[in-house]
Amino acid sequence: MTAAEPQGREPATTPAGRSDPGRRELTYAVLLCVAGAGLALWASTRTWAVELTARPTPLPPVRDARTGAGLLPWLPALALVGLAGGGAVLATRGRARRLLGGLLCGLGVAMAAGGGYGLVAAFDGEVARHWPALCLLGGVLATAGGLLTALRGRRWPAMGARYERRPAGDAAPVARGDGGRVTGRRTTEAWDAMDRGEDPTVS
């Protein structure tokens, strides 16, 4: 004879389990924003074109290397803001997070536009098109992360309560075990008691 199963048992789902999709989306959005902005920043520091200036024979031509940041000074600045904004997604919530997502989306579009300019611009001398292409890719990734944040960020979880300051007077209760021994006293309270000449293990 088998024992009857307890009545009223709930399905094996917890609130934490239901929040997993939201946490995954939050992780993806942050990774897209940070990776995209970082890629665009790195690509903007590479040499996009080398201009050659002829000199009288037998002197060799002068090589003038032009980086993406030199051609588009605003590009690395936008990428740095995108990096900071990607981390700020974790610290915001609700409407502020959605507004931040819209800002990140706009920054990603601007970075992608800078990369696109590097692909089609007619530079003099030797031209390296792969760096602008990577900048374009980074902008697309950052745009995707910002768009995901703007559309779905309001329902994502915020930072845990452990990062928030506990209100004054809201101290954790002290638990006592057998014989009145203190088992849940915080370490700082125990040291304060010892400084006063008291034994923190005695009630």
Q: Where are the alpha helices (DSSP H) in the chain?
A: 15-18, 20-44, 68-71, 74-88, 94-120, 130-152, 187-195
Which range has the worst mean pLDDT, 102-106, 133-137, 147-151, 169-173?
A: 169-173
How much is the pLDDT for 51? Answer: 75
Residue 199: pLDDT band with limits 50, 70, 90: low
* Report for 63-67, 96-100, 166-170, 181-185: range of highest mean pLDDT: 96-100
Strand-pairing partners, residue 176, are 182
Q: What is the pLDDT of residues 30-66, one digit of tens each?
A: 999 999 999 999 999 999 988 766 667 776 666 778 8
Q: What is the pLDDT of residue 62?
A: 66
Per-residue model confidence (pLDDT) at position 125: 73
Strand order in the sheet with 62-67: 62-67, 47-53, 126-127
For the chain, the straight-line distance linking the first and the last C-alpha, in angstroms and rounded, comes to: 51
